[in-house]
Amino acid sequence: MSNNQHSISIFRDQLQFAQNWLEGTLQGVTQELAHWQPNGKAHPIGSQVVHVITTQDFFIHQLLQGKTPLMAGDFAEKTGFNMPPPQGNRDEWAAHVQINMDTLKQYAQAVYDATDTYLSTLSDSDLDRKLDLTNLGFGVQNVAFVFNLLILNLYCHTGEISCLKGLQGLQGYPG
């Protein structure tokens, strides 16, 4: 690690840890479990995973690099879900999306790898670059905000997934 990548190194470590925590929590999730619809407004496990991975794919590729997200490029038709999540309310989508967890896991790994590769090209000063995220409801932020948001998103939804597993008598978090 160079002296100008201290913060980048921390973000890389945090993202890798959060991604591994998600993947560990997903151990034992079957196709049936991925589609189980709990009472109330909670979304099924599979749709939670799709949201987390597609958000990271979009932010890393399109938002930060101006590139096509993997789900619309190299992984088009190979993501493990039959329809992408909409922007905004996902209730209807979450109730109907069909997910193949094995294929989704391959897409997720590609997103994780692409994220780490992108981070390895940045220096700490790149984290200060301003982004207009007004259309996403966040106003003007910097690149560091995006990485913090991705980490938060991973942990929040991993917690929801752990709870959904627990409601079915399964261990949630790895351990």
Query: Does 140 fall in a domain?
Result: yes
> Has residue 72 been placed in a domain?
yes
Average pLDDT over residues 112-129: 98
What pLDDT is attached to residue 3? Answer: 62
Q: pLDDT grade, residue 9 (50/70/90)?
A: very high
| Sheet strands (E) in the chain | 130-132, 140-142
Assess whether pLDDT exceeds 70 at residue 5: yes
| pLDDT of 12 | 98
Q: What is the CATH number of the domain that holds 38?
A: 1.20.120.450
Is the model's pTM score more than 0.85? yes
Give residue 4's pLDDT.
85
Q: Taking residues 58-84, report their average pLDDT.
A: 98
| Dihedral (Cα; 80, 117, 157, 86), 10-degree rounding | -50
Split into its structural domains, the chain has a count of 1
Query: Would 175 be classed as within a structural domain?
Result: no
Q: What is the pLDDT averaged over residues 8-32? A: 98
Q: Are 116 and 18 contacting, i.e. CB atoms less than 8 angstroms apart?
A: no
Residues 110-135, mean pLDDT to the nearest whole number: 98
Q: Is residue 172 situated within a structural domain?
A: no
Q: Which pLDDT belongs to residue 54?
A: 98
In a domain? residue 173: no
Round to whole Å and give the CA distance between 124 and 109.
25
121 vs 164: CA distance, rounded Å: 37
Is the predicted pLDDT of residue 146 greater than 70, yes or no? yes
The residue segments making up the domain with residue 11 are 3-167
Residues 6+ apart with CB under 8 A from 19: 108, 112, 154
pLDDT digits (tens, 9 = 90+) for 23-66: 999 999 999 999 999 999 999 999 999 999 999 999 999 999 99
Q: Calculate the average pLDDT of the chain.
A: 96
* Residues 6+ positions from 130 with CB-CB distance below 8 Å: 140, 141, 142
Task: Give pLDDT, residue 87.
Answer: 87
Mean pLDDT of 132-152: 98
Give me the pLDDT at residue 2, please: 54
